[in-house]
Copies of this chain bind each other. A is one copy, B any other.
Amino acid sequence: MAVYTEVADDALSAFLSLYDIGEAVAFRGIAEGVENSNYMLRTTTGDFILTLYEKRVDPADLPWFLGLMEHLAGQGVTCPQPVRGQDGNALRMLAGRHAAITTFLPGVWPRRPQVAHCSPLGVALARLHAAGESYAPRRVNGLGPAGWRPLLERSLGRADEVAPDLGEELSRVLDRLLGDWPQDLPEGQIHADLFPDNVFFLDQRISGLIDFYFAATDLLAYDLAICLNAWCFEQDGAFNVTRGRALISGYQSVRPLTVAEADAMPILAQGAALRFLLTRLYDWLNTPAGALVTPKDPVEYLRKLRFHRHARGLSAYVG
């Protein structure tokens, strides 16, 4: 929730002169997106988003992300489209950051996910997976299983500040998860961060998916497990099986899960909970006073992780 990098007027004008989208008419920082600086940019020809990529994004990955967004759109998935400059490039430097202009998508993200959101979400996720099949370049998921132990080790010394014996609990869970992690499930391009604030709705229908900057090549069903975590828990921490059923049914209406994927859902969901727990834990312990971003409570994901540890098969999520 922040704008980390300010763009001087003359720098913005010079930047826009490299495109054919007219001149700035409005330019306001957006208080959404934790990782990058985003601006709502209106020009004399239309509305756009200007993104300045901040430190957590590896510039070497940016062509992969932008290429994926273009590819998905070509396959009918509504997502922001990189706008190319007169030189044909969508990516260049601005205010010392890598930056890109993308198209502006209408829609409102659901502040309180409801059952009615979950079926369209499942459909959209499965369509994204299908559309990604023909995008050949791969990107290793740095926040996938291989990244979890280094991530935990950065917080292990202080994890118990967040919950009693948390370090020991997470070490045990991690050992078991890495041992049990499924090896032969279908892989493809996953969004990997499809939380409610990345899904826009208009009239109960999805109008677009945004923020592909965690996307990677990984297990498709793991992406669904991330959505189960992000969309299907009540604010009091209870799992809402009606939402889970709607999400998974929607997904399967486009891409039926294999038996192995269905059986693996509890372990995938544990992995997804652990992944967000670990990044939140690190941020919680390392956000300096006066930071632009309020760290999210890691305990929310500890509760979710514990729920998934007691889940048995897909039925735990669909009732």
Contact = CB atoms under 8 A, between A and B. Distances in A.
B6 A111 contact: yes
Contacts of A10: 112
A145 B200 CA distance: 48
A14 interface: no
A24 B3 CA distance: 24
A32 B32 contact: no
Given A3-B31, A31-B3, A108-B9, A289 B292 contact: no
B9 A106 contact: no
A7 interface: yes
Contacts of A12: 108
Contacts of A292: 1, 292-294
A62 interface: no
A288 interface: yes
Interface in A273-302: 287-295
Nearest to A33: B31
Q: How large is the interface on A (under 10, 10 to 19, 20 to 34, 35 or more residues)?
A: 35 or more
A8 interface: yes
Interface in A1-53: 1-3, 6-10, 12, 24-32, 40, 42
Nearest to A38: B31
Contacts of A182: none
Contact of A112 (B1, B9, B24, B291): B9
Nearest to A3: B31
A93 interface: no
A57 interface: no
A28 B40 contact: yes
A67 interface: no
Interface in A145-179: none
Contact of A1 (B9, B31, B289, B295): B31
Given A26-B200, A42-B106, 16 more contacts: A1-B3, A1-B29, A1-B292, A2-B31, A3-B32, A7-B111, A8-B112, A9-B110, A24-B108, A25-B106, A30-B40, A31-B31, A40-B40, A289-B291, A290-B291, A292-B294
9 contacts: A1-B3, A1-B31, A3-B31, A3-B32, A9-B110, A9-B111, A25-B108, A25-B202, A28-B31
